[in-house]
Amino acid sequence: MARGMARPRVLLTGFGPFPGVAENPSGWLAETAASAATPDDCALYRAVFPTEWDAVANRAAYFHQAIRPRLMIHLGVQMQATEIHLECRAHNEIDHRPDACGAHPGRHDVISGCDGTLETYLPVDSLVARLQEEKIPARTSQSCGRYLCNDLYFRSLH
């Protein structure tokens, strides 16, 4: 990196436990990956979000403004998955399931007045192919559901 240039900021997130998932591996992975290796060519930040509707909205806004990351990598969990799912889009819809505190969202969409679907600019299919070349089971996913992972992902794409 050229002298005097700021390193790009990368935000790596995971989630805490929620109903049905007493130990969320995404939070552990975000903490472990971020502390295991800090690349010299970027500034790596990590956060484990409480799995709560209001906390996700508030913390997402805080991290987006305070860090202004160039890249955000959000980790989530799908307990039935047998491979890594790389998401290519998020939806401006909310599943009215309770969060870790039992609260329900007080809204029907993630961000009022926004498009129904937002897509990443990252080459998800190429990333999946690279993982598969390394014998890591992975696939492209068109939907990360409508729960808190989707909520955070939509806010980040927006």
Summarize pLDDT for 118-145 with one digit per residue, the tens.
999 999 999 999 999 999 999 999 998 9
Q: Where are the domains of the chain?
A: 9-157
Could you report the per-residue pLDDT of 70-126, keeping only the tens digit for each? 999 999 998 889 999 999 999 999 998 999 999 999 899 999 999 899 999 999 999
Q: What Cα–Cα distance (Å) separates residue 45 from each residue in 1, 34, 78, 152?
A: 19, 7, 24, 16
pTM for the whole structure = 0.90
Query: Is the pLDDT score of 4 beyond 60?
Result: no
Q: What φ, ψ does residue 130 adopt, rounded to 5°?
A: -65, -45
Looking at domain 9-157, what is its CATH homologous superfamily? Peptidase C15, pyroglutamyl peptidase I-like (3.40.630.20)
